[in-house]
Chain A
Amino acid sequence: DAGITQSPRHKVTETGTPVTLRCHQTENHRYMYWYRQDPGHGLRLIHYSYGVKDTDKGEVSDGYSVSRSKTEDFLLTLESATSSQTSVYFCATGTTNTGELFFGEGSRLTVL
């Protein structure tokens, strides 16, 4: 295990409210990622980080922002949640550029 903790694990919120999901790792992995999993789409990359304060967009980044102020923490923020952002969010970390990632247990977000 890469020691990845996601919080909260479950959250129900209303449309228009801000939401922040937190990912914490204890393995000092360089790369961190946020994916969302939706039926029929598999896992889609939202944002990723290749170092402290170094982040970039993935394929479904609209409506999301991220921050990484410390190696161990990667925050995903929905500034104004919409129902289309109801999903299961997975944080992942990696150490090499071969693609092997270690995933957290997921955060289920419901936007009403």
Chain B
Amino acid sequence: DQQVKQNSPSLSVQEGRISILNCDYTNSMFDYFLWYKKYPAEGPTFLISISSIKDKNEDGRFTVFLNKSAKHLSLHIVPSQPGDSAVYFCAASGVQGAQKLVFGQGTRLTINP
């Protein structure tokens, strides 16, 4: 049973436009959400996070939105750049110990020039 779902395996966006990556979760006990970015042949790297007590967190070109009633979070990248092409994973923690992260399947983002 997939507790964290990224229903779009891939997304293609033109350079300079907004990229929106979506993530849904099923367990209301999750209280901390994160986005990781992964390039080929490298390990994932932390991008941005949000606590369940907030509905928005912004860091430069990256903004994460959390809608707890819908159990949905999204990552906005504005403006999108070629270096943003990567696989993005959303993750959640809070169940069975905060140190256990549950990851989604990932979305491959391609930024076209």
Residue positions of A touching B, CB distance < 8 A: 4, 31, 33, 35, 40-45, 48, 50, 58-59, 90, 92, 94, 97-106
Contacts and interface: CB of A to CB of B under 8 A. Distances in A.
The 3 closest A-B pairs by CB, nearest first: A103-B43, A99-B93, A97-B98
A97 to B, nearest CB: 4
Interface of B: 4, 6, 32, 34, 36, 41-46, 49, 89, 91-93, 97-106
Contact of A42 (B89, B99, B100): B89
B100 A50 contact: no
A42 B49 contact: no
Contacts of A58: 100
B101 A101 contact: yes
Contacts of A41: 105
Contact of B45 (A59, A103, A106): A103
Nearest to B33: A99
Contacts of A102: 46
Contacts of B46: 100-102
Contacts, number: 65
A95 to B, nearest CB: 10
Contact of B49 (A50, A94, A100): A100
8 contacts: A4-B43, A42-B89, A42-B104, A43-B91, A44-B103, A92-B43, A100-B34, A100-B49
Contacts of A44: 103
Contact of B101 (A40, A50, A99, A104): A99
A87 to B, nearest CB: 14
A5 B24 CA distance: 32
